[in-house]
């Protein structure tokens, strides 16, 4: 079985202390993400980025729920500086059109094409945020026939409503994803 690691949106704007839409404790997963990315069982290792135009419809000014974040070519849109870029095989941008949320890394065909070309049958999805982009990326991976693992030691939730992260994991579990803390080697 060929397995890929998908690091979702570990970007400056999603991490404390200064991120425009900082996920609580989001910066704390950097070391774990790097550890996973160096693990030889994962090939390829793919990082995703929100890469929004300045007038993206998810921004409050344009009717969306979020403050401006991850505007293309800004410092906030860059991958977090603690992420070891040398471990990455690809960076895939999403949410590039004004009217697409960009919640799933499978928004465009680029990710699926890369995975299929490399013979990948399973993915481990980590990053930010459990209840939005991790959820939607994992959901779409399952729908495309990939076996999916969520490593909870390397994810964090926004929890806009308390419990959103836990509900996202419950949903993914019900869809067939394996929810685990791989740092402790315990699985549900």
- Which residues are catalytically annotated? 9, 94, 133
- Cβ atoms 179, 150 nearer than 8 A: yes
Interatomic CA distance for residues 93 and 90, integer angstroms: 10
- Cβ atoms 29, 126 nearer than 8 A: yes
Interatomic CA distance for residues 60 and 138, integer angstroms: 26
Q: Considering Cα of 61, then 63, then 67, then 73, what sign does the dihedral take?
A: negative
- Cβ atoms 86, 65 nearer than 8 A: no
Question: CA 63 from chain center: how many Å?
Answer: 24
Sheet arrangement for strand 42-50: 90-94, 42-50, 2-8, 120-128, 147-156, 178-181, 186-187
């Amino acid at each position: 079985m060929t397995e890929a690691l998908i690091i979702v949106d570990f970007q400056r704007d999603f991490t404390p202390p200064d991120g425009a839409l900082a996920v609580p404790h989001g910066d704390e997963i950097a070391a774990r993400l790097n550890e996973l990315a160096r693990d030889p069982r994962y090939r390829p290792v793919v990082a995703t980025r929100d890469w929004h135009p300045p007038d993206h419809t998810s921004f409050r000014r344009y009717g969306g729920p979020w403050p401006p974040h991850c505007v293309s070519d800004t410092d906030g849109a860059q991958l977090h500086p603690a992420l070891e870029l040398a471990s990455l095989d690809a960076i895939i941008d999403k949410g590039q059109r004004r009217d697409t949320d960009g919640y799933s890394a499978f928004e465009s065909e680029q990710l699926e094409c890369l995975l299929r070309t490399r013979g990948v049958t399973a993915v481990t999805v980590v990053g930010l945020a459990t209840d939005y982009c991790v959820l939607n990326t994992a959901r779409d991976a399952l729908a495309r026939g990939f076996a999916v693992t969520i490593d909870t030691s390397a994810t964090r939730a926004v929890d806009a409503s308390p419990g959103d992260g836990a509900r996202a994991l419950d949903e993914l579990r019900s869809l067939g994803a394996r929810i685990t803390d791989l740092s402790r080697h315990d699985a549900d």
